[in-house]
Amino acid sequence: MSQTRKFMYINRHAPYGTVYALEGLEVVLIGAAFEQDVCMAFIGDGVFQLKQGQDTTDSGMKNFSPAYRALGDYEVNRLYVERESLEERGLTEADLMPLTWEDEEDDWAEKPSIQLVSRAQLSGLLEEQDVIFNF
């Protein structure tokens, strides 16, 4: 019997310019099938992955931002966004996609997946993890 471990996926790169963001998201969605305790952290340019209003129609790239909305269905419902990273980039929580998940134990109530955390809080969350993946 395997035991549940705490996984954190750290996202540090902007989407589109490099393949880190897309590859990282795919690994999270694949890994979600293994029923571990999964969360994601967005720091540095990684916060740009969650920017609302991405539209690649004029640039010929694949817009993979809608795939973040599927995370809640895979029980990946804790997306920690570092507040300092948002502020350095002139962004606020209102600039991010409104990602939600449905809580089975609370009559399927829709709850927000994104949580803003300070750098100090994130440091503590890192210490709690059994496995950390960095993209």
Which positions touch another protein (CB under 8 A)?
A: 13-18, 44-45, 48, 51-59, 61, 63, 65, 88-90
DSSP code per residue over 92-111: -GGGB---EEEEGGGTTEEE
Amino acid at 90: G
For the bound state, the minimum distance from the C-beta of residue 91 to another protein, rounded and expressed in Å, comes to 8
Distance CA 77, CA 55 (A): 24
Shortest distance, CB of residue 42 to another protein, whole angstroms?
A: 13
Q: How far is the CB of 66 from another protein (least distance, A)?
A: 12
- Measured between alpha carbons, how far is 106 from 118 in angstroms, rounded to an integer? 28
Q: How far is the CB of 23 from another protein (least distance, A)?
A: 16
Complex with another protein: residue 42 or 48, whichever CB lies closer: 48
Of 48 and 101, the one with the shorter C-beta distance to another protein is 48
Q: Which residues contact 113 (CB under 8 A, 6 or more apart)?
A: 71, 72, 76, 77, 78, 79, 99, 100, 101
> CB-wise, 64 or 74, nearer to another protein?
64
